[in-house]
Structure 1
Amino acid sequence: MIDPALVAERFGTPAFVYDLDRVRAARTDLATALPEEFEIFYAVKANPHPDILRELRSVPGKATRAEISSTGELEAALAGGFAGADILYTGPGKTAGEIAEALSAGVRLFSVESLGDLRRIGATAASAGVIAHCLLRINSATSSASTSIRMTGTPSQFGFDSETIPEISDEILSVPATKIDGAHFYSLSNARDEESLVAELLHTIDCAATLQSQLGIAFELLDIGGGFAAPYASIGERPLYSNLGAALRSALDANFGGWREGAPKIAVESGRYLVGDSGDLVTTVVNLKDSRGKRFVVADAGINTFGGMSGLGRLLPVAVRPREDGRPADQKASLVGPLCTPGDMLGRDIALPALEPDDVVVVPNAGAYGPTASLLMFLGRPAPVEIVVRGGEVLGATRLRHTRENVRAIENSALPTEVGASA
């Protein structure tokens, strides 16, 4: 990674620095951990930067595909070199307009969350004269891992409740202009350890085999989800999963005998693992504030720049990379941003070196869920610069812009009032 002081001097702060060499290394490590027959979907929500998308597309071996949940992510994926046929469209709130736009771009694969979602996709596909290929997202009634971030087993807007499938299978299979290709699971995020990850994915494979039997069809594609971990805004390294591949092969051999020949194809998806350790957030100390025995280090990066959910206490605390000048992180202080809200907190009472105004500090492992996962528009401050490097060389620097566009020319700007309303 390039010198953060030079980043601050040349580009200003706050700034994200993304190292494409690390993106490539993560993609290679994940592929190595998995059976070679597996497909990998990249969750574009993790970081939709076009250079990162292009890098993931270019890694040798089986091509990475894209998982998206909006037409904005569709645009990013297409700009990053993904064809419509490479894309899986997910999400519980797909509108007819969004589905139509995806179909017109060549997307044919959709993750379906409910009967209503399936019928909307089918109606839109019928209007376009095409067939939509669908994966049933499943909210399993049971799970294996009791730690990490659970995504199933409770009432949820995500997925068909698994116990309802037998009673509605005929309805699922009879929606015009749709074809059920298989299933989509995503039951775990950021697994605590390899044992938890393996146990959950094996449980998913068992559930998928039961589902296939209940539907009475042969799956063509099974997406077993992810859960691959990576440190987020903290000091640490990505895990390497040495036992995962063998465990998956054994479970699939027992449940889906033809999977090695592509019947069904097996896929996983990942966001943070592929890009999390590729990025650093570089920020500058603006001010120091002592209040009732507590120290606050005020930086120019806040929840509008990084980890907007930090203000809700969801992602605290961040860490700061040790300084190259040898100053030890032996003081406790809160790292806060410049916004006019007490929620602008990046780290509460975290270990920091003795800092002064204009010092540059670095938050490591910030390549996932950065600017586009933050409160970017809040208080109208400029978006951070995003810098892409390879081999220590800067390839480009960009900044997202806050813009407003007219979506429709209106001849008469007056809106009709309700009957009886006063002017």
Structure 2
Amino acid sequence: MTDQSTDPTKLARRFGTPLYVYDLDRARAARRDLFAWLPEGFEVFYAFKANPHVDLVRALRTGEGPTCRAEISSTGELAAALEAGYRGHDILYTGPGKTPGELSEAVGQGVGTFSAESLSDLQHIGEAALAHRTVVDCLLRINSATASATTSIRMTGAPTQFGIDSETVAGLAPQLRSVPGTRLAGLHLFSQSNARDEDALIGELTHTIAVAAAIQEDLGVELRLLDIGGGFSVPYAQQGGRDAYPKLRDELAAALDVHFPRWREGTPRLAVESGRYLAGDSGTLVTRVTNVKVSRGKKFVIADAGINTFGGMSGLGRLMPVTVHVPTDAETEKASLVGPLCTPGDVLGRQIELPANLRPGDLLAIPNTGAYGPTSSLLMFLGRPAPVEVAVSGGRVVSATRIEHARTPVERGPR
């Protein structure tokens, strides 16, 4: 039974709504499970974009067993990583639009590994390193011309801002190997998100390993680190648990034995990255009903959480419909769950199952909301307060915080 002091609905009465509750013990359990699915020796990068909450990040960095390294793509995420206790050598800095200013700050803070999306991106990283009189390791992100699995977000095989087109690597190899301020450390391939099932995940990751072996030949450089990406799945604002991957360890090991026969000796080091799998099922969003109305025969339940609170993925068609917790013996009815914003787009679910006879003041709990929550939502739209975020662990509240926005004077523009 859930400890009453950390029960999300009890916390909502204490801290108000909208409210996120992050169970750090569940995040640690997800980390333990993910490492268990992988061959021994794999590293795991936590993708901060899923949820950069410092207590959650710190929970994934510390504790028993293997812990996560950090994958970031902004100086804001860098600040969160450093606050959570990461050192520069623990961090992989990624992203297609790194500015000179943020590269300088990252190198200055000791970040030693970057993912380069193009030759020019690699050159920009090298310039920042040279300005700090150092040399940094770089992974070349590859946009493979081919893919294996079908997924809701495909990040390779088409023209994209992400990665170097695989068919161009051989011709670029001399230039890629000789950028001042950089060392080619390996490859970064991330082709999908949220694989539909274990076979799809295995198919994509083993295909990625084969592509990486071919790229190694094209480069003429032995890889020291190979990041094969992710795709590990957990429901997003839906009932259900994280996916299991009992076949993954053996299938990856077999593919690596073929393409990288020295991998068991640590050449190359292997890594995956994950955000939603590690954070997703740690979170519960609690929202309060503010009004109930009927319009032309359709019922609308209006809540104080909308796409400003939980809407970051709605533009990708991945949000609707959410589900809410309904006691097993409760009567339900179909209604649309909408937020408080003055826009018809503020919809969390159309004609979904909700408890019958809801009234203003009633609480609704949306599961699996630990990933892609406040920081990927329309947080400042219409100036409503950000939700409170409460982290819990071991039956106690670790922290209760809210993101605050303030307009401050700027002496110079962004770099």
Q: Please, what TM-score do these two structures have when normalized by structure 2?
A: 0.96
Which residue does the alignment assign to 2:90? Answer: 86
Which residue does the alignment assign to 2:228? Answer: 224
Q: Secondary structure at the match of 1:32?
A: helix
Which residue does the alignment assign to 2:344? Answer: 342
1:312 CA displacement: 6.3
Which has the larger displacement, 392-401 or 310-319? 310-319
Report 1:230-269 matches (<5 A).
Answer: 230-269=234-273
1:296 CA displacement: 0.9
CA displacement, residues 328-356 of structure 1 (integer Å, 9 cap, x when unaligned): 3x311111100101111111111111111
Q: Measure the CA separation in 2 of the matches of 1:106 and 1:353.
A: 52
Tell me the matched-pair count. 408
Report 1:170-209 matches (<5 A).
Answer: 170-209=174-213
Quick one: which amino acid aligns to residue 246 of structure 1? D
1:8 CA displacement: 2.1
Quick one: which amino acid aligns to residue 305 of structure 1? T
Q: Secondary structure at the match of 2:313?
A: helix
Which residue does the alignment assign to 1:106? Answer: 110
RMSD: 1.4
2:409 to 399, 403, 406: 406
Q: Secondary structure at the match of 1:308?
A: coil
Which residue does the alignment assign to 1:368? Answer: 371
Q: Measure the CA separation in 1 of the matches of 2:107 and 2:183.
A: 15
Q: Secondary structure at the match of 2:307?
A: coil
Contact residue 74 and residue 102 of structure 2 kept, 8 A: yes
Contact residue 142 and residue 153 of structure 1 kept, 8 A: yes
1:385 CA displacement: 0.4
2:61 to 43, 51, 57: 57
Contact residue 311 and residue 345 of structure 1 kept, 8 A: no
- Give the 3 Å change call, closer, same or farther, for CA 192–127 of structure 1 in structure 2: same
CA displacement, residues 90-115 of structure 1 (integer Å, 9 cap, x when unaligned): 00000111000000110010000011
1:34 to 7, 32, 38: 38
Q: Measure the CA separation in 1 of the matches of 2:67 and 2:11.
A: 33
Q: Measure the CA separation in 1 of the matches of 2:111 and 2:142.
A: 21
Q: Measure the CA separation in 2 of the matches of 1:10 and 1:243.
A: 44
CA displacement, residues 130-158 of structure 1 (integer Å, 9 cap, x when unaligned): 11210000111000002342111111000
Report 1:235-384 matches (<5 A).
Answer: 235-310=239-314, 313-323=317-327, 326-328=329-331, 330-354=332-356, 355-384=358-387
Contact residue 284 and residue 368 of structure 2 kept, 8 A: yes
2:133 to 124, 129, 141: 129
1:67 CA displacement: 0.1
2:51 to 47, 54, 71: 47
Q: Measure the CA separation in 2 of the matches of 1:357 and 1:100.
A: 51
Quick one: which amino acid aligns to residue 192 of structure 1? R
Q: Measure the CA separation in 2 of the matches of 1:64 and 1:258.
A: 24
- Give the 3 Å change call, closer, same or farther, for CA 52–383 of structure 1 in structure 2: same
Contact residue 4 and residue 360 of structure 1 kept, 8 A: no
Which residue does the alignment assign to 2:389? Answer: 386
Q: Measure the CA separation in 2 of the matches of 1:227 and 1:219.
A: 23
Q: Measure the CA separation in 1 of the matches of 2:339 and 2:211.
A: 45
Contact residue 53 and residue 81 of structure 1 kept, 8 A: no
Quick one: which amino acid aligns to residue 340 of structure 2? P
Contact residue 151 and residue 193 of structure 2 kept, 8 A: no
Q: Please, what TM-score do these two structures have when normalized by structure 1?
A: 0.94
CA displacement, residues 44-67 of structure 1 (integer Å, 9 cap, x when unaligned): 111111111111111323331000
Q: Measure the CA separation in 2 of the matches of 1:339 and 1:163.
A: 47
Quick one: which amino acid aligns to residue 267 of structure 1? A
Quick one: which amino acid aligns to residue 65 of structure 2? G
Which has the larger displacement, 171-180 or 203-212? 171-180
CA displacement, residues 20-63 of structure 1 (integer Å, 9 cap, x when unaligned): 11011000000000011100000011111111111111132333
CA displacement, residues 395-414 of structure 1 (integer Å, 9 cap, x when unaligned): 2211110112222189xxxx
Q: Measure the CA separation in 2 of the matches of 1:227 and 1:389.
A: 27
Contact residue 391 and residue 397 of structure 2 kept, 8 A: yes
Contact residue 311 and residue 343 of structure 1 kept, 8 A: no
Quick one: which amino acid aligns to residue 393 of structure 1? R
Contact residue 310 and residue 345 of structure 1 kept, 8 A: no
Q: Secondary structure at the match of 2:245?
A: coil
Return 5+ residue gaps in structure 2 as ranges.
none
- Identity of paired residues, percent? 62
Q: Measure the CA separation in 2 of the matches of 1:250 and 1:21.
A: 33
Contact residue 235 and residue 319 of structure 1 kept, 8 A: yes
Q: Secondary structure at the match of 1:190?
A: strand
CA displacement, residues 361-392 of structure 1 (integer Å, 9 cap, x when unaligned): 00000000110010111111000000111133
Q: Measure the CA separation in 2 of the matches of 1:268 and 1:204.
A: 11
- Give the 3 Å change call, closer, same or farther, for CA 45–311 of structure 1 in structure 2: closer
1:23 to 21, 27, 49: 27
Q: Measure the CA separation in 2 of the matches of 1:291 and 1:260.
A: 63
Q: Secondary structure at the match of 1:290?
A: strand
Q: Secondary structure at the match of 1:322?
A: coil
Q: Measure the CA separation in 2 of the matches of 1:21 and 1:100.
A: 36
Contact residue 85 and residue 106 of structure 1 kept, 8 A: yes
